[in-house]
Amino acid sequence: MTPKVFAAIAVLAGCRPQFLPECGNVEVVPGDAVSCVVPGYVDRAFELSIPESWDGSSPLPLVIAYHGGGGNREAAQTVACPGGNRDDAGCLDAMAHARGYAVVSPDGTAQRPLRDVRTWNGGGGGDDSYCASGQACARGIDDIGYTDDLLVEVAAAIPIDAQRIYATGISNGGAMSHRLACERPELIAAIAPVAGANQHADDGGPCGSIPVLHIHGTLDPAWKFEGGDGGFDKGEKTSVAETMAGWSARNGCSETFVDAAIADRDPDDGVASTRRTFDGCAQTTELITMDGAGHTWPDGYQYFGEDRIGRVSHDFGNEVILDFFDAHPKP
């Protein structure tokens, strides 16, 4: 854990929290959802939402939800909801709150002139490499540093359980989750990226070891399962196979694995899902393949037509991600 984030979590864990002065000293209460700009960053806010069950003082586990490339913090919440309905109990934030998690949805860097079209530097930059998802990578934005500062702000607002900080996200946000896990394995307990592979490590960046559940559709037109160019931004992208091979090696797995079919709870969705668990790992390493699904969140929002982004799988939903997080606190 970085000294700055560690100090914020440790010092503030026993305090009755409130936002820092830059955020208006807004006190956070159970069941609340509040927004604030991270100090030192122009036009980069976050939303923090709190479970109603919180007693007002106990440290809370935290899920960081990164939006996809071209999205924003509101899109990160909507895409992870059945039918895009923010009031649905199956939304990621609603299900997380029911289990006692706080959720923070931050904003990436805006691409002008469309100020609310944002990206993350999920890795892949440099003279000998490529950028997959927009200007944040091309401009070398320090989104690891931004996340450190974000967590300092969150720790000023609520006490954080330092053993249970997790990350997820779709597409470019999934890639950002991978990069965060690579560069902050001492901070993050586990990740569950969706439809966005590991541009950072698979392009030569340093990477640690951490529990990983990667989720991807085989007919994803924007981040192809087999990698390569194409998609909304036409950038070169790492394949799922490369990403899982990298995590398997770093997590000390053997060359064998076990595949188990996930019950097909919606035979009409055109998708069949399989969970692959790698054997012998020091850190759990798993892949859920949604055969027939596109660039979509499981049981989430069909935000564009199937002709553009492919199908949504309804075989499972956010409970699988949260089950993985529940099972993997830091030791």
**What is the rounded distance in angstroms from the CA atom of residue 257 to the CA atom of residue 124?**
28
pLDDT at 139 over 70: yes
**What is the rounded distance in angstroms from the CA atom of residue 217 to the CA atom of residue 185?**
26
Q: Are 220 and 293 in contact (CB under 8 A)?
A: yes
Is there a domain that residue 331 lies in?
Answer: no
How many helices and strands, by DSSP H and E, does the chain display?
9, 12
Question: What CATH number should be reported for the domain holding residue 126?
Answer: 3.40.50.1820
**What is the rounded distance in angstroms from the CA atom of residue 169 to the CA atom of residue 147?**
14
- From residue 289, alpha-carbon distances to 30, 32, 66, 272, 303 in Å are 36, 35, 21, 8, 20
What mean pLDDT comes out for the span 161-173?
96
**Model confidence pLDDT, tens digit, residues 8-56:** 565 444 454 555 555 656 678 899 898 888 888 888 889 999 999 999 8
The predicted pLDDT at position 136 comes to: 84
**What is the rounded distance in angstroms from the CA atom of residue 117 to the CA atom of residue 73?**
10
The predicted pLDDT at position 14 comes to: 47
Is there a domain that residue 85 lies in?
Answer: yes
Is there a domain that residue 141 lies in?
Answer: yes
Closest CA to 289 of 203, 197, 179, 189: 197
The predicted pLDDT at position 140 comes to: 85
Model confidence at 127, pLDDT cuts 50, 70, 90, reads very low
Is there a domain that residue 317 lies in?
Answer: yes
pLDDT at 113 over 70: no
The predicted pLDDT at position 128 comes to: 41
Closest CA to 223 of 268, 193, 262, 247: 193
The predicted pLDDT at position 126 comes to: 53
**Model confidence pLDDT, tens digit, residues 43-95:** 888 999 999 999 988 999 999 999 998 888 999 999 999 999 999 999 999 99
Instruction: For residue 65, give every residue at least 6 positions away whose Cβ sits within 8 Å of its Cβ, in sequence order, or none.
Output: 76, 77, 80, 92, 93, 103, 104, 105, 167, 168, 169, 173
Is there a domain that residue 20 lies in?
Answer: yes
**Model confidence pLDDT, tens digit, residues 252-298:** 999 999 999 999 988 889 999 999 999 999 999 999 999 999 999 99
**What is the rounded distance in angstroms from the CA atom of residue 103 to the CA atom of residue 166?**
10
The predicted pLDDT at position 22 comes to: 58
List 65's β-bridge partners, or say none: 168
Is there a domain that residue 187 lies in?
Answer: yes
**Model confidence pLDDT, tens digit, residues 218-261:** 999 999 999 987 666 666 789 999 999 999 999 999 999 999 99
Is there a domain that residue 102 lies in?
Answer: yes
5-9, 93-97, 318-322: least confidently modelled range: 5-9
Domain extent for 101: 3-326
The count of domains in the chain is 1
- From residue 118, alpha-carbon distances to 72, 136, 224 in Å are 6, 8, 21
pLDDT at 2 over 60: yes
Q: Are 104 and 150 in contact (CB under 8 A)?
A: yes
What mean pLDDT comes out for the span 143-170?
94
